[in-house]
């Protein structure tokens, strides 16, 4: 019991000493003895950069044709291999021609009947022409004979048209490729019933050498691009077209050169974008319709530009943007900035608002507050040390 009574004052003295120490703020440590939040930053430096306009879009075929039947019937044969190259005029399907052969035979029979009937009418009309000269027939009989002759001739023309229609329908039982290109999957098999001008295509043929890349550009960027072309900042080739570089979704560049070919004539009211079209050779069929691509348009060099990572930029509203910075006292501050062109996928030029040496926060932006003390972590030095450790 005595030992316990001696221990209590000693513990109280130690607790009081600890509480007094917690009130100190040495080395920016917060009251309470907690740890400061580590925050990664990059120091702002000047550097020479290659300015590029980066646009995104998708590839589309140079030509595309959906093949549909123009007559109804049963498919007897499919005469192509799916995914192969076909030539314009090559037969793709054979539809059962039996009913159309019968229709053609009937139309020819009707034509022969009309021609036979017209013969006697023609002879009578010629005879009445001679008899009219001697007044052997009345004028009315002559007029009736001439009218019958013209009617018979009209019936022959109608019969010939019916024969031609039957021939066309019979020819349509052979479905041909309307363009040359790569044919896709067949939507119908042998034995399937198809109908004339049905909504579902039998197959689709595409040409994608060369191939299009359709992208969108904002109106402000389009106006700036035109000014830069006029000023000679963006160079055009001998065909008066701007050369661009295509980049795959994974960041790899497409090896063949491409050119901007087309500018839309109207602005999409929902997106505020203007459609642009680039064309690229595609002999090896590396590019397929529907692929996501980036288009890079070089705009020359910027000297002593301030470049920061895109992840550091925070949008205050639709027009204003800012970055968090770490001041000399290792506290969080804020600077509003004006951005310039984007550099690649991860960096952007800052036209105003920052100075060389500013420490721009690139991580934990959701956890920090203005005036909050933090532990700065130089991301560039950390990356270098990791690379050395890996070696």
Q: Quick one: pLDDT band at residue 9, thresholds 50, 70, 90? A: very low
Instruction: Confirm if 342 and 50 have CB atoms less than 8 A apart.
Output: no
Q: What is the Cα–Cα distance from 290 to 75, expressed in whole angstroms? A: 30
pLDDT-wise least confident of 89-98, 159-168, 227-236, 271-280: 227-236
- What mean pLDDT comes out for the span 228-247? 79
Q: How far is CA 110 from the centre of its chain?
A: 55
Superfamily of segment(s) 53-63+211-301: Efflux pump adaptor protein, beta barrel domain (2.40.30.170)
What tens digit of pLDDT does each residue of 291-307 get? 999 998 877 777 888 99
Is 176 a residue whose pLDDT tops 90? yes
First to last CA, the chain: 64
State residue 238's pLDDT score: 75
Q: Quick one: pLDDT band at residue 17, thresholds 50, 70, 90? A: very low
Instruction: Confirm if 292 and 325 have CB atoms less than 8 A apart.
Output: no
Is 391 a residue whose pLDDT tops 90? no
Q: What is the Cα–Cα distance from 183 to 160, expressed in whole angstroms? A: 37
At 97 the three-state DSSP class reads: coil
Q: Where are the domains of the chain?
A: 36-51+302-390, 53-63+211-301, 67-96+173-207, 97-172
* Interior/surface letters 3-19, b for 16+ CB within 10 angstroms, e for the rest: eeeeeeeeeeeeeeeee
In what helix (H) or strand (E) does residue 314 lie, and over which residues does it extend? strand 314-315
| Mean pLDDT score across all residues of the chain | 84
Q: Does domain 36-51+302-390 have CATH number 3.40.640.10?
A: no
Tokens encoding 338: 């004006």
Q: List 352's β-bridge partners, or say none.
A: 338
pLDDT-wise least confident of 124-138, 139-153, 228-242: 228-242
Residues 6+ apart with CB under 8 A from 74: 95, 96, 191, 192, 193, 194
Superfamily of segment(s) 97-172: Helix hairpin bin (1.10.287.470)
Question: What is the number of other CB atoms lying within 10 angstroms of the CB of residue 205?
Answer: 25
32 vs 167: which has the higher pLDDT: 167
What tens digit of pLDDT does each residue of 57-82 get? 999 999 999 999 999 999 999 999 99
Q: What is the pTM of this model?
A: 0.62
Q: Quick one: pLDDT band at residue 236, thresholds 50, 70, 90? A: confident
Fold annotation for 67-96+173-207: OB fold (Dihydrolipoamide Acetyltransferase, E2P) (2.40.50)
Is 386 a residue whose pLDDT tops 80? no
- What mean pLDDT comes out for the span 344-363? 90
Among 103, 61, 1, smallest CA distance to 210 is for 61
Q: List 59's β-bridge partners, or say none.
A: 213
Q: What is the Cα–Cα distance from 119 to 149, expressed in whole angstroms? A: 9
Q: Is 61 exposed, middle or buried (0-12, 13-18, 19+ CB in 10 A)?
A: buried
State residue 322's pLDDT score: 95
Instruction: Confirm if 205 and 183 have CB atoms less than 8 A apart.
Output: yes
């Amino acid at each position: 019991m005595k030992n316990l009574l001696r221990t209590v004052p000693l513990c109280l003295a130690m607790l009081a000493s600890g509480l007094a120490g917690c009130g100190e703020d040495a080395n920016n440590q917060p009251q309470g003895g907690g740890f400061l939040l580590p925050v990664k930053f990059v120091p702002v430096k000047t550097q020479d950069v290659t300015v590029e306009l980066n646009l995104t879009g998708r590839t589309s075929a140079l030509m595309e044709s959906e093949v549909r039947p123009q007559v109804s019937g049963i498919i007897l044969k499919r005469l192509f291999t799916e995914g192969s190259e076909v030539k314009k005029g090559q037969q793709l399907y054979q539809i059962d021609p039996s009913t159309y052969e019968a229709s053609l035979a009937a139309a020819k029979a009707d034509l022969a009947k009309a021609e036979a009937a017209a013969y006697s009418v023609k002879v009578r009309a010629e005879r009445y022409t001679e008899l009219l000269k001697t007044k052997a027939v009345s004028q009315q009989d002559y007029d009736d004979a001439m009218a019958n002759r013209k009617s018979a001739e009209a019936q022959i023309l109608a019969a010939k048209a019916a024969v031609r229609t039957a021939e066309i329908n019979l020819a349509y039982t052979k479905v041909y490729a309307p363009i040359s290109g790569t044919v896709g999957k067949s939507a119908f098999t042998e034995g399937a019933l198809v109908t004339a001008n049905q909504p579902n295509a039998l197959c689709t043929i595409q040409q994608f050498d060369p191939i299009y890349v359709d992208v969108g550009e904002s109106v402000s960027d389009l106006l700036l691009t035109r000014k830069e072309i006029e000023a000679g900042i963006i160079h055009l080739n001998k065909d008066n077209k701007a050369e661009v570089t295509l980049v795959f979704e994974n960041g790899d560049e497409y090896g063949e050169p491409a050119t901007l070919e087309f500018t839309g004539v109207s602005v999409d009211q929902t997106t505020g974008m203007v459609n642009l079209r680039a064309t690229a050779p595609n002999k090896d069929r590396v590019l397929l319709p529907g692929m996501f691509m980036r288009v890079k348009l070089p705009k020359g060099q910027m000297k002593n530009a301030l470049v920061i990572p895109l992840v550091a930029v925070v949008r205050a509203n639709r027009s204003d943007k800012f970055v968090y910075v770490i001041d000399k006292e290792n506290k969080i501050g804020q600077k509003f900035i004006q951005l310039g062109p984007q550099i690649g996928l991860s960096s952007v030029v800052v036209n105003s608002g920052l100075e060389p040496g500013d420490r721009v926060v690139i991580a934990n932006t959701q956890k920090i507050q203005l005036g909050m003390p933090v532990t700065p972590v130089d991301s560039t030095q950390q990356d270098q040390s990791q690379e050395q450790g890996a070696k």
